[in-house]
Structure 1
Amino acid sequence: MRVVETVKSPSLPTPLIFGAAIVSVLAASVLMPVASYPMVLAGILGVVAVGCLVFQPYWLWILLLTFLPFSVEISDVLGHGTNLVFPTEACVPLVALAILVRFLVRGKIQWARSWLHTAILIYFTIQFLTLVVSPLPVVTLKAFIRTTSYLLCGYLLTNIVVERQEQAKTLLKFLVLSTSILVVYGFYTQFIEGVSIYQDIAHPFFLNHCIYAAWVCFPLAFLLPSLSQPIEGKGKIVLFFALLGLGVLLSFVRGAWLGILGLVAYLWYRQRSALNLKFILVLVLGGILGIILIFALDLSHLFVDRFVNLFDRRYVTNESRIDRWMAALSMWATHPILGVGLGCYPDLYPQYLFYVDTFEGAIRMGAHSIFFEIMAETGTLGILAYGFIIFNFFRETRRLLALAGDDIQQRCIALGLEGIVVVYLIHGVVNNLGPSDKIDIALWATLGLAVRLRYLREKERANSLPHST
C-alpha cells in the first residue's frame, strides 16, 4: 500500500506580506505620475536596481563576472581624454559599497585563514612601494588604483559573497554560456570581415586578439579536467568544449595554443590514474576534427605561417618579443630591487630599445610577457611575491582536492581552477595579458574561489563531525 505524504510549503509571515503590499502601493504611487517621463522613470528604476545589487552582492558578483567579456572602453568620457571601461569601472564603487553594507548588516565578515591572503598583501605592498622609485608617480598611482580595483571586484568580492559550493557552480555555468555566446559572435566578426591572423575579433568588446584568446581559454581550461571524470551531462560539456576550443584555434594566438597543450600535459600527469580510453579518444578526435575544419575553411596557409616561423628570430612578431623582453631585462638590471615603477614600462620602453627598427616600436604596449613586465616594474621583490601568490594558490587547490575525497564535482572544480591558472601562466610567458579588466578580474576571482571553496569544505566537514558532550 502506497503512503502519500503531504508536504506543506512554508507560508510567508504575515508582516512580510503586509510589507510587500505597502511597498507595492507606494511604488505604484511614485511610478505612475512619472510614467510619461521615460528618463525619470529609468532613473528611479536604476536607483532601485543599484540598491538591490548592493544589498544582494551575490547577484552583483554573478552579473559582473558573467558580462565581463562584454565590457567596452568608452573614450574621452569627461572630455579630458579620460576613458571609462563600462560596466566594469562603473561597478567598482558598487562593489565597495556592497562589501561595506554586508559588514554593517552582519557585523562581521567570515574570512578564511590562508597564506594566499598574506602573499597578495605582500605583492600589493611592493606595488605601492614602487611609488618611491617611480619616475612617473602619477602613472604608478593610477596603475595601483586600477589593479586594486580589480582585486576588489575579483578576489575580495568572491571571498565575501560565496557561501555555498552551488553558488560557485552557478557562476561557472554562466561564464561558460556567456563565453560561448562571445565565441559565436567572434566567428561572425571573423568570417564576415575575412579571416586573418591579426584582426580585431569580437570587437568592440575585444581590441586585442591575444586578450580574446586568453579569455576563451579560461572556461575551456576549466572544462578540460571534466572530460576525464565520470560526471553527469558530459555530452553538453563536450559540445561547449568543442565550441570554445574552436574559438581558441581560430584566434591564431600561439601562446594560447601552447597554454592548452601545456594544460593537457599537466592534467595527464595529475590525473594519470583517472585517465581512460574515452578521454584520449575525445582529445584525438577533437584534434582530427580541428585539422579537417582548417582545410575545409581554406585556413591551412595561416596555420602553416604560425608554425613555420615559430623560432625564426627575424619574423616580425618574434623580433618584437625579443625587443620587448630585452627592454624589460634592461629595466630590471638598472633597477633590480623595486623596478622602474608599476605601470611605467610602456612609457619608459623607448629609452631601452633593443632593436631600433622593431615592428612594434612605436606602439605603446607591455613587455609581451607578464613575468618580464613584473620584473621590470616591481623588481626582484615583485616577481618573488608574485611567485609566492602562485605557490599558495596551488597549495589551496591541493587542499581542496584532498578534501574532495570521492566528490567528483568537487574534484572537477579544483582541477578546473588549477587549469585556468596553468593556461594563464603558460600563455603569459609570450603575450601581454594585461592590464585588462577582463583577464585580471577573472584571474583574481579564480584565486579567490580556491580559498573560499576550501574554507567552505572544511567548515562543512567540521559541522558533519559528531560533537562531544
Structure 2
Amino acid sequence: MAEDYFKERRRAQRRRRWGGRMARGMLYAVIAEAFLIPLVPLAAMAVLLFGCAALFLRLRIDPSFRLRRLPYDAPALLFVVIGLLSVAAAPDKAFSFYNFYHLVPIYAMTYLLAGQSLRTPRELQRVVLAMAAAALIVILYGFYQFIFGIDISAMKWVDGESFPELSKRVFSTWENPNILAGYLDIVVCVAVGLLSALTRGWRILGLVVLAGALACLGMTYARGACLVIAAVLAGYGALRDRRVLLGIAVAGAGALLLDPVLADRLLSVFTRIDTSSEMRLAFWESTIAMILDHPFLGIGWGMYFMVYPEYDFYLQGAPVQIVHAHNMYLNYAAEIGVPGALSFLWFFFGSLVLAFRVRRRTPSWETVLAAYAPDWNTVADVRAALGRWRRSRFIEGLARGLGLAMLSVALNGLTDHLLFNIPSSMLLWMLAAMTAAVHAAAGEARES
C-alpha cells in the first residue's frame, strides 16, 4: 500500500512538472509568434504549431488545467463553420477548401493559444514588449527604405498619372505600403493607449515607438490609413485626453508643411477622384451584385479572384487579377455569405466593445497612498501595493490601446481589405484574444 501511495505521488509530481513545462512552452510560443508575425510569418506559424501542441499535451497531463471560455468563442466558431460550409458553393471547391484549411485554422489556433495562455498582467506585458520590439524593427527598416530609396514606378501601388511626383513609398517587411500602414495604425493606437499607464522608462520607449510609427506611416503615403489614424486619435483626444488632440494637430500640420507630396495625396481624397478611387467604387458595385446573387453561403471562401470577372464592368478583360473587394465588410459577405459576415462582425465588434468596457477605475498613486498608507506596516506592503497598482494601470491602458487598434482596423476596412493579408489576420485574432485576456484580468483585479 505504501509503495503504491509513493508511486502515485511521484506520478502526480511528474504530471505537475511536465504541466508547468507545457505552460511555459505555450507562453513562449505566444511571445515568439507576437514578435515574428510582422517579421517572418512562416516562422510565426511554426511556433504557433509548437504552442498548440504544448496546449494539447498540457490538457492531457495536467488535471488542474482546463480550457476557459472566452466572451466571443461562439461567433468565432460560427465564422469557422460557415467559412467551411461556403466551400460547397465555390466554383472551384478543391482550391477553396485548400485555401480555407491553409488559412482559417491558423487564425483560430492563434486565438485559441493566446486566449488560453495569457492569464496574468505579467504575461500580457511580455507579449506587448515582444510586439514593441518587432514594431521597432519594422519601423527602422521602413526608414532604411525611405533614406536609400525604392523605385516604385513599375509597381501598382499608386496612380502615376495623378501623382507624378510620388516615386517612393515604403513597405518594410510587409507586402505593400497600404498593409504596412494598417499595421502602423495598430502600433500607434496601442502605444497611445499605453502611454499614460507606463512608468517613466517604459513611457520613453512608448514615445519612441509612437513617433517612429507616425513618421513611417507618412512614408507609406497611404491616404486611407493616414486619415483613419488622424480621426481615431482626434476622437480619442477630444473625448479623453486633450494632449493627444494637440499632439496629432501639431504632428499633422508639420508633416503636411514639410512634405507637399503627402499633403497632395491626402487632400486628393476631398478634391478629386483618381484611378484608385474609381476602381474601388467599381469593385464595390460588382461585389454588391455578388452578394445579391449569393446571399447565404456566398461565392466560396477565397473565390473572389475567380468570380470577379463575371461581374467586371470596369476593367473589361484587362490582364489584372483582382483578389479582394477593397472593403472588408463587402468581401466577407461576398465570399462566405451574409450569415458568415455577420458572425465575423459579431466576433470583431464584440471584441472591440469588450476592450472599451474595461473602464478606468484605478485612482492615482497619491490617492492610494493617502487612503491605505496607515494600514501598511512594512516596505514589502508598500511594494506589493505599488505592484498591484501598476498592473491595474497597465491593464486599463492596454485595453484602451486594443480598443483603439481594433477601431482603426474597422475604419480601414471601409476602403481596403487588409485582412486578406495572412499576417494581418493573424495579428487581428491575437489582438482579439489579448482583449479577452485583458477583460478577464481586469475582472479578477476587481474581485481581489
TM-score range, shorter chain: 0.7 to 0.9
Tell me the equivalent position of 2:285.
Answer: 326
Residue among 225, 249, 271 paired with 1:256: 225
Tell me the equivalent position of 1:450.
Answer: 435
The separation in 2 between residues aligned to 1:142 and 1:403, in whole angstroms, is 47
Tell me the equivalent position of 1:421.
Answer: 406
Q: Indicate conservation of the 8 Å contact 1:65/1:442, yes or no.
A: yes
Q: 1:171 to 1:409 in 2, by over 3 A?
A: same
The CA deviation string for residues 163-217 of structure 1, in whole angstroms up to 9 with x for no partner, is: 31121122112212221221111121233225767467345x3222111111122
Q: Indicate conservation of the 8 Å contact 1:112/1:455, yes or no.
A: no
The separation in 2 between residues aligned to 1:453 and 1:105, in whole angstroms, is 27
Tell me the equivalent position of 1:81.
Answer: none
Residue among 278, 282, 291 paired with 2:256: 291
The CA deviation string for residues 315-356 of structure 1, in whole angstroms up to 9 with x for no partner, is: 111122122212211110110112111111111111110313
Q: Indicate conservation of the 8 Å contact 1:339/1:379, yes or no.
A: yes
The CA deviation string for residues 355-375 of structure 1, in whole angstroms up to 9 with x for no partner, is: 1359x8613421111111011
2:373 pairs with 1:408? no
The separation in 2 between residues aligned to 1:413 and 1:91, in whole angstroms, is 24
Q: 1:215 to 1:309 in 2, by over 3 A?
A: closer
Q: 1:143 to 1:310 in 2, by over 3 A?
A: farther
Tell me the equivalent position of 1:78.
Answer: none
The separation in 1 between residues aligned to 2:418 and 2:209, in whole angstroms, is 24
Counterpart mapping for 1:5-404 below 5 A = 56-71=25-40, 86-107=42-63, 109-194=65-150, 198=158, 201-202=170-171, 205-227=173-195, 232-233=200-201, 234-268=203-237, 270-271=239-240, 275-276=241-242, 278-294=243-259, 300-308=260-268, 310=270, 312-313=272-273, 315-357=274-316, 362-401=320-359
Coordinate RMSD, CA, aligned: 2.9
The CA deviation string for residues 439-463 of structure 1, in whole angstroms up to 9 with x for no partner, is: 111110111011122223323444x
Q: 1:386 to 1:221 in 2, by over 3 A?
A: same
Structure 1, 173-182 or 412-421: larger mean CA deviation: 173-182
2:426 pairs with 1:441? yes
The separation in 1 between residues aligned to 2:300 and 2:234, in whole angstroms, is 36
* Percent of pairs with identical residues: 18
The one-letter code sitting in structure 2 at the alignment partner of 1:287 is: G
The one-letter code sitting in structure 2 at the alignment partner of 1:165 is: P
Q: TM-score, normalised by structure 2?
A: 0.78
Q: Indicate conservation of the 8 Å contact 2:352/2:406, yes or no.
A: no
TM-superposed deviation, 1:95 = 3.2
Structure 2: unaligned runs, 5 residues or longer: 1-9, 11-20, 159-167, 365-391
TM-superposed deviation, 1:377 = 0.6
The separation in 2 between residues aligned to 1:109 and 1:370, in whole angstroms, is 37
Structure 1, 141-150 or 106-115: larger mean CA deviation: 106-115
Structure 1, 134-143 or 91-100: larger mean CA deviation: 91-100
TM-superposed deviation, 1:256 = 0.9
The one-letter code sitting in structure 1 at the alignment partner of 2:293 is: T
Structure 1: unaligned runs, 5 residues or longer: 1-14, 16-51, 72-84, 295-299, 465-469
The separation in 2 between residues aligned to 1:219 and 1:163, in whole angstroms, is 22
Q: Indicate conservation of the 8 Å contact 1:200/1:206, yes or no.
A: no
Q: TM-score, normalised by structure 1?
A: 0.75
The CA deviation string for residues 262-307 of structure 1, in whole angstroms up to 9 with x for no partner, is: 3124424652xxx24x44443333224423542xxxxx13531442
TM-superposed deviation, 1:259 = 1.9
SS in 1 for 2:324: coil
Tell me the equivalent position of 1:80.
Answer: none
The separation in 1 between residues aligned to 2:417 and 2:98, in whole angstroms, is 19
The one-letter code sitting in structure 1 at the alignment partner of 2:113 is: L
The CA deviation string for residues 211-266 of structure 1, in whole angstroms up to 9 with x for no partner, is: 11111221111112345668534343222211100111111111211221231244
- Between the two proteins, the alignment pairs up a number of residues equal to 389
The one-letter code sitting in structure 1 at the alignment partner of 2:74 is: T
The one-letter code sitting in structure 1 at the alignment partner of 2:116 is: I
